[in-house]
Amino acid sequence: MSSSLPILHLLSTSPEQTQRFAMNLATLLRGGDLLSLKGTLGAGKTHFAQGLALGLGVGEETYVTSPTFTFINQYEAKTASFQGTFFHLDLYRLEEQDELFEIGYYEILRSDNIAAVEWWDRFPEEIPPRALTVEITQTGDQKRKIQLLSDEREWAQRLLKQSWSPLI
């Protein structure tokens, strides 16, 4: 996925704005969509996943956390365009590719649900071409550059129809 083409660049000045960008993106998601959340520790991947969950209709009373130790968290999502499960995966602690079988990774990828995967780049050969990469780069104390990348034409068409602000 490292050769993916940039589709959109966004600048976030706060964790709340990062969440709002993700909520905006969530309105475009469909069953079967996969997102690779890429960034260093503390870059804002979990804030982004929290925004996705909110945008997918996961109630505000549900606390969305990083599944660093559980590997997978799942939330019931319900919007006008999607009713199903939002999976949030964290592959940071996995050592071997075989462990993906053990956690149910392949079943999630074959489902019609939506999944956001942190640290997917630890197993780059396992990232399907249809996945959208969300690359978050810390550029200041609260500032983040968010880049959306994919080689799939469909992602470009979907993303460029949306109103995004601010663009960089």
On whether residue 166 sits in a domain, the answer given is no
Q: Using alpha carbons only, what angle is made at residue 145 by residues 149 and 61, rounded to the nearest 5 degrees? A: 90
On whether residue 143 sits in a domain, the answer given is yes
**pTM of the predicted protein model:** 0.91
Report the number of distinct structural domains present in the chain: 1
On whether residue 47 sits in a domain, the answer given is yes
In the structure, what pLDDT confidence band is assigned to residue 96 with cuts at 50, 70 and 90? very high
Domain that holds residue 138: 5-160
pLDDT tens track for 19-72:
999 999 999 999 999 999 999 998 999 999 999 999 999 988 787 888 777 899
On whether residue 167 sits in a domain, the answer given is no
* CATH number of the domain where residue 137 is located: 3.40.50.300
pLDDT tens track for 135-147:
999 999 999 999 9
Half-sphere exposure in the Cβ direction for 168 (13 Å, CA): 12
Indicate the residue type of 93: R
On whether residue 98 sits in a domain, the answer given is yes
